[in-house]
Amino acid sequence: MIEFDGVSRRFSNGHFGLQDVSFHIPEGRMVFITGHSGSGKSTLLRLIPALDHPTSGTVRIGGHDLQKMPRHQYPKLRRQIGVVFQDHHLLPDRRVFDNVALPMQVAGFEPRDIRRRVEAALDKVGLHARQRARVDELSGGEQQRVNIARALVNRPKILLADEPTGNLDPELSREIFNQFADFHAIGVTVLIASHDLHLLKTFAVPRIVLNQGRIAQIEEAF
């Protein structure tokens, strides 16, 4: 499902964010990407929805080589991939419902379908009752759950999360990870980048460990 074959990403300043990275994540698996700050986790995740491109090597998603994919097919690719990234901000002065509805509105769905799916996504993350609240009235943990609902609303086959528990307390962090595990349980392929080793250790999930842009180790689940 997600295949990297000898992938490198060299930035314009000559620095390698990733170097010769190869792995294959079959459909429906859940995998953690870990490693120190600056090890290349975000660089790796951004290549999957073609938000960034390798300098060399091949990235295949669902059998499609992204380098050969024409740009007009990127929206279709991205609709299959839900992302919880740090730079995908919510609109703070809009309601929870509107924030989650946005990807479906962009994709041109009917209002009736949007309402049904947004409510289902909010229900999954336990925020159904807060759908009319403004985002800036919510706690940090609730806002992160809105992010997750927005990533899920298009029913993606793949869910990518980059440090999804950033500044959250341990209890909330665990709750968010449990939610990802629930999506994995219903068949979604889930990739989470995190350096929260304490939390990761408590999940029986394989880990790709990065170090200075290279794969240092692939640890199978215990």
Ligand X SMILES: Nc1ncnc2c1ncn2[C@@H]1O[C@H](COP(=O)(O)OP(=O)(O)OP(=O)(O)O)[C@@H](O)[C@H]1O
Binding site for ligand X (CB under 6 A): 11, 13, 15, 17, 35, 37-43, 195
| Minimum CB distance to ligand X, residue 153 (Å) | 25
Cα–Cα distance measured from residue 6 to residue 220, given in angstroms and rounded to the nearest whole number: 21
Q: Between residues 40 and 49, which has the closer beta carbon with respect to ligand X?
A: 40
**Helix 111-124 and helix 96-106: axis angle, to 10°?**
130
| Matching residue, tokens 């995908």 | 88
Torsion over CA of 196, 123, 130 and 136, rounded to 10 degrees?
40
Q: Between residues 19 and 143, which has the closer beta carbon with respect to ligand X?
A: 19
Torsion over CA of 115, 117, 122 and 123, rounded to 10 degrees?
110
- CA distances from residue 102 to 94, 97, 162 in whole angstroms, order as listed: 11, 9, 20
Pick from 95, 92, 98: nearest CA to 136: 92
| Minimum CB distance to ligand X, residue 204 (Å) | 23
| Minimum CB distance to ligand X, residue 106 (Å) | 26
| Minimum CB distance to ligand X, residue 151 (Å) | 18
Q: Between residues 174 and 195, which has the closer beta carbon with respect to ligand X?
A: 195
Q: Between residues 37 and 71, which has the closer beta carbon with respect to ligand X?
A: 37
